[in-house]
């Protein structure tokens, strides 16, 4: 009898690790067993290059080592045969029964199927969105929100203890511009007035902030008698009110997008808590700073930068990367084994500077910390033409615009379904269509179809867990079985490569394979053995669809 295996790769890696301890015990602690899926089926289900890794240190033939490793492999009911290929690759072939048993593995594991222990419970922080609190979230922020949240979901399922964090740049020139813009709107000055500043914010949302502020002013005047009627000159009060108002608006949009954060950090708090000054003092004490032209410089060229960077300007203010260094020092001190920043590609130039600053602190931060995931820009199309403005924001398409027009599911899927390195075209018409060309509809429809079949059957789910899978032997069924087997590997790849789009691609392929099976097969047949096996298979497919969609933050409807 074949034992159900939830993850064949992990199972085989354990077997080869055992063999490694026998053949080369002195290398067991330093070598990692690597198993890949061969591109051609005649090369087996998995290939291992362990013999080739051992050949040089042991000064032995890779083929001889391969033979020794095979001989040392523990017995396993999932392995049909093991062959040596080429210079010393070990190809492993799984039994048909083992592949069929994946159905029971999925049904038994349920929502946990595909989960991994890569993180082993270690702390990981993902910072994403981190939009300036100066206006509504635009579609670029939306892509960052979708990718960042999907990363968090995937990494959590891969065994990491994930903290989601949003960092607000609530200090600096952009907040000064926001304050001035709201103040002018309070005074009745519109963006088309010649007095409007060049860097002022022109969107209609500024008028909303101004009206809300004036309404609060009126309440204060009536209830507390602390302000004279019409007094809108208090820039400090306007500044605090506008930032809080827009932060709240952004949070409402993110919640509508299914994105929630564990921690909100403020740039201004770094100054008030003395953390920026502390970071500067540490950098000065490290010996990597110098004075020049009445400014304080950081010798970032010591850490791979193309030129040194100014930290404190001649007027005494800090350049923008200094609070970033202080912020990431704070992250490090909070005990995160890994920190990942999901940001727009326009932040590329900050990577070297922030890492150089962290290295210069001499507090033990690794050279590649934090890690970065940078996404490219998004173009929105409607009717084949680019959409560039929003009624509310004026100069750009907002995330809320898309959610309201095409729904949360389609917006999340489309924004996460492409490699972050590529520019993304968001076709509103496609996202709204109910056709096979729309991948979201296509995947959700596959899930709804399965639910419909299972509802028509109406039997006890326990019968499916006990079904004999040996009858699943046609080509459509073999393809679906392989899809189920591949899911944990897709999970691992998406987590290791920080690439949520791999899950989106997988789900589209899984849906396509199911639709082909559905169109070619009957499920509610008279033969109980065949019926239960086929229903068990599609129930497992539905479970994996739900699991994968949940990692993308997309729903799996029972009906369409």
Check residue 227 and give its pLDDT: 45
Residue 115 in contact with residue 548, Cβ under 8 Å? no
Question: Which of 140, 160, 171, 338 is CA-nearest to residue 267?
Answer: 171
Tokens 């173009």: give the residue: 379
CA–CA separation, 45 and 55 (whole Å): 23
| Dihedral (CA of 392, 393, 395, 399) sign | negative
Q: Give the domain ranges of the chain.
A: 8-100, 173-239, 436-552
* Distances from the Cα of 268 to the Cα of 169, 170, 226, 275, 283, angstroms: 8, 6, 27, 10, 20
Q: What pairs with residue 342 in β-bridges?
A: 128, 373
CA atoms within 13 A on the CB side of 456: 12
CA–CA separation, 219 and 54 (whole Å): 77
Q: What pairs with residue 164 in β-bridges?
A: 126
Establish whether the linkage from the previous residue to 370 is cis, with ω within 30° of 0.
Answer: yes
CATH number for the domain whose boundaries are 436-552: 1.10.730.10
CA–CA separation, 296 and 327 (whole Å): 19
Sheet hosting strand 295-298, strand order edge to edge: 289-292, 295-298, 309-312
Structure tokens given for 209: 């902030």
Structure tokens given for 146: 């979708």
CA atoms within 13 A on the CB side of 92: 27
* Distances from the Cα of 68 to the Cα of 59, 84, 91, 208, 523, angstroms: 14, 11, 14, 74, 47
- Would you state the CATH architecture of domain 8-100? 2-Layer Sandwich (3.30)
Check residue 3 and give its pLDDT: 62
Structure tokens given for 410: 């389609």
Check residue 394 and give its pLDDT: 82
Q: In Å, how far from its chain's centre is CA 177?
A: 32
- Write the DSSP string, 345-388: GGGHHHHHHHHHHHHHTTS---TT-SEEEEEPPEEEEETTEEE-
CA–CA separation, 62 and 48 (whole Å): 12
Question: Which of 533, 536, 540 is CA-nearest to residue 470?
Answer: 533
DSSP H or E segment with residue 242: helix 235-256
Check residue 348 and give its pLDDT: 86
Positions of the chain with pLDDT lower than 50, given as ranges: 1, 223-232
CA–CA separation, 20 and 387 (whole Å): 58
Residue 93 in contact with residue 83, Cβ under 8 Å? yes
Structure tokens given for 42: 């005649």
Residues 6+ apart with CB under 8 A from 506: 483, 486, 487, 490, 548
Domains 8-100 and 436-552 share a fold: no
Sheet hosting strand 161-168, strand order edge to edge: 263-266, 161-168, 123-128, 338-344, 371-375
* Distances from the Cα of 116 to the Cα of 216, 228, 285, 407, angstroms: 51, 62, 43, 31
CA–CA separation, 363 and 365 (whole Å): 6
Q: pLDDT tens-digit profile of 9-53? A: 999 999 999 999 999 999 999 999 999 999 888 899 999 999 999
DSSP H or E segment with residue 80: strand 79-85
Integer-rounded Cα Rg, in Å, for the chain is: 29
Check residue 221 and give its pLDDT: 54
SS3 of residue 459 by DSSP: coil
């Amino acid at each position: 009898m074949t034992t159900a295996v939830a993850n064949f790769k992990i199972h085989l890696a354990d077997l080869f690790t055992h063999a490694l301890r026998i053949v080369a015990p002195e290398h067991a602690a330093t070598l990692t067993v690597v198993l890949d899926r061969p591109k051609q089926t005649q090369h087996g289900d998995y290939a291992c290059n362990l013999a080739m890794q051992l050949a040089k240190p042991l000064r032995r033939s890779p083929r001889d080592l391969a033979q020794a490793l095979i001989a040392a492999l523990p017995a396993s009911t999932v392995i049909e045969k093991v062959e040596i290929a080429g210079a010393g690759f070990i190809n492993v072939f799984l039994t048909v029964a083992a592949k069929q048993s994946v159905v029971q593995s999925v049904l038994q594991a349920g929502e946990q199927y595909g989960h991994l222990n890569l993180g082993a419970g270690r702390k990981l922080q993902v910072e994403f969105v981190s939009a300036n609190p100066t206006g509504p979230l635009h579609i670029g922020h939306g892509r960052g929100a979708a990718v960042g949240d999907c990363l968090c979901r995937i990494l959590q399922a891969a065994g990491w203890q994930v903290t989601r964090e949003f960092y607000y740049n609530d200090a600096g020139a952009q907040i000064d511009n926001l304050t001035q813009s709201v103040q002018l709107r309070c005074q009745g000055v519109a963006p088309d007035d010649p007095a409007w500043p060049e860097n002022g914010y022109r969107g209609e949302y500024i008028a909303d902030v101004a009206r809300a502020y004036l309404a609060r002013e009126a309440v204060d005047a009536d209830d507390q008698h602390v302000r004279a009627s019409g007094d809108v000159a208090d820039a400090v009060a306007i500044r605090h009110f506008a930032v809080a108002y827009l932060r709240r608006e952004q949070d409402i949009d993110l919640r509508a997008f299914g994105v929630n954060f564990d921690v909100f950090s403020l740039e201004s708090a770094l100054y008030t808590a003395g953390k920026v000054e502390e970071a500067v003092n540490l950098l000065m004490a490290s010996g990597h700073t110098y004075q020049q032209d009445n400014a304080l410089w950081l010798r970032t060229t010591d850490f791979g930068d193309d030129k040194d960077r100014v930290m404190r300007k001649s007027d005494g203010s800090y350049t923008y990367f200094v609070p970033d260094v202080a912020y990431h020092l704070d992250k490090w001190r909070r005990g995160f084994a890994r920190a990942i920043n999901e940001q727009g590609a326009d932040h590329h130039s900050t990577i070297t500077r922030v890492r150089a600053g962290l290295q210069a602190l001499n507090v033990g931060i690794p050279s590649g910390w934090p890690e970065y995931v940078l996404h490219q820009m998004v173009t929105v199309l409607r009717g084949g033409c680019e959409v560039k403005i929003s009624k509310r924001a004026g100069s750009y398409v907002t995330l809320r615009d898309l959610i309201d027009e095409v729904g949360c599911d389609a917006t999340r899927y489309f924004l996460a379904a492409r490699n972050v390195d590529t520019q993304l075209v968001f076709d509103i018409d496609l996202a709204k269509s109910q056709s096979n060309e729309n991948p979201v509809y296509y995947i959700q429809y596959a899930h709804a179809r399965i639910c419909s079949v299972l509802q028509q059957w109406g039997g006890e789910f326990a019968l499916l867990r006990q079904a004999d899978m040996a009858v699943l032997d046609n080509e459509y069924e073999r393809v679906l079985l392989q899809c189920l087997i591949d899911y944990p590997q897709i999970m691992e790849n998406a987590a290791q490569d920080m690439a949520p789009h791999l899950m989106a691609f997988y789900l589209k392929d899984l849906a396509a394979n199911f639709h082909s099976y559905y169109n070619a097969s009957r499920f509610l047949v008279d033969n109980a053995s065949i019926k239960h096996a086929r229903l068990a298979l599609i129930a497992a497919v539905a479970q994996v669809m739900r699991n994968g969609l949940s990692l993308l933050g997309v729903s799996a409807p029972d009906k369409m």
